[in-house]
Amino acid sequence: MALEKELETYKTKLPELKALEGKFVLIHGENIVDTFASYEDALKQGYKQFGTKPFLVKQILAIEPVFHFSRAIGPVRKAS
Amino acid sequence: MPHFTLNIDPGGPIVNALVQISEGRRAALAAQKSPIPEPQVIRALVDTGASFTSIEPSVLQLLELSPTGTIDIVTPSTGQNVHTTETYDVNFVIYAGPGDPPLSMPNLRVAACELFSRQGIHALIGRDVLKQCILVYNGDFDVFSLAF
């Protein structure tokens, strides 16, 4: 799956990241690059540092939100 | 306040939107001297039942995007089970009336979700975008208005 390694890194590091809840973390592979106040800032740094290589931007949240859709749609996960 | 009023399509309140790569990705491609994918005009349904804006994967493929995140979702097609879907950053623009500035979101995070093309639409405009808008659905006159 795309971003599988980055998502695993996030899960592993979440106990340490919880002190920064609400901020946005930039992850590349197994590395936590930095945290940012906004999604836009994290994204900008990700593209600046990694170009079009895979990177993950994720808001640090103790409880993952679930988004609801009243219309039938299909989730997408690409093979990496 | 910029706004527009459109007839309600048989499929619901649908707008044409322009979707293109985000500012950050554009800068990264320019630095690599890579070609910039063409912007895509899409049909997007204003959907107050969607908590997140979503785009059909075929549109994201035309923009040659890679995912930069994931979210967990529940839809009637997933039943009670939570599923994970990829998210992408795009520059999303909804045009208003002539002379009015468009609603422009240069780094909007959108979810990739399938089945839209069979419904005659390419995207759902969810409440994450609508929180910036005033939506008036006038069923009596068969029109809707969006102000932002």
Best CA proximity match to A21, nearest among A62, A57, A66, A64: A62
Instruction: Please judge whether B77 and A40 are an interchain contact, meaning their C-beta atoms are less than 8 angstroms apart.
Output: no
* CB neighbourhood size of B16 (10 A): 13
Is residue B50 over pLDDT 90? yes
- Separation CA B58–CA B92 (nearest Å): 16
- Structure token pair of residue B112: 């990739």
Provide the domain limits for residue B45. 3-147
Confirm whether A33 is domain-assigned: yes
Confirm whether A67 is domain-assigned: no
For residue B123, give the CATH number of its domain: 2.40.70.10
Q: What is the average per-residue pLDDT within A29-51?
A: 96
Confirm whether A52 is domain-assigned: yes
Is residue B11 over pLDDT 80? yes
Please give the mean pLDDT across all residues of chain B. Answer: 93
Question: What domain count does chain A have?
Answer: 1
Partner-chain residue, chosen from B28, B70, B75, that has the shortest CB–CB distance to A71: B75
Q: What is the average per-residue pLDDT within A37-49?
A: 96
Task: Determine what percent of chain A falls in helix, strand and coil, rounding each to the nearest 5.
Answer: 35, 25, 40
Percent of chain B at pLDDT above 70? 97
Is residue A53 over pLDDT 70? yes
* Segments of B1-148 assigned E as strands: 3-7, 14-21, 40-46, 54-55, 69-74, 83-94, 103-114, 123-125, 134-138, 143-147
Give the dihedral of Cα atoms B89, B94, B100, B105; nearest 10 deg: -10
Confirm whether A79 is domain-assigned: no
pLDDT of residue B70: 95
Provide the domain limits for residue A27. 4-59
Is residue A79 over pLDDT 60? no
Is residue A77 over pLDDT 80? no
- Structure token pair of residue A62: 């103790």
Confirm whether A68 is domain-assigned: no
Q: What is the pTM of this model?
A: 0.92
Question: What domain count does chain B have?
Answer: 1
Query: What does each C-alpha distance from B98 to A73, B6, B28, B104 come to in angstroms?
Result: 34, 13, 33, 15
Instruction: Please judge whether B24 and A70 are an interchain contact, meaning their C-beta atoms are less than 8 angstroms apart.
Output: no
Instruction: Please judge whether A39 and B107 are an interchain contact, meaning their C-beta atoms are less than 8 angstroms apart.
Output: yes
Q: What is the pLDDT of residues B114-138, one digit of tens each?
A: 866 667 899 999 999 999 999 999 9
Partner-chain residue, chosen from B24, B47, B111, that has the shortest CB–CB distance to A71: B47
Q: What is the average per-residue pLDDT within B62-85?
A: 91
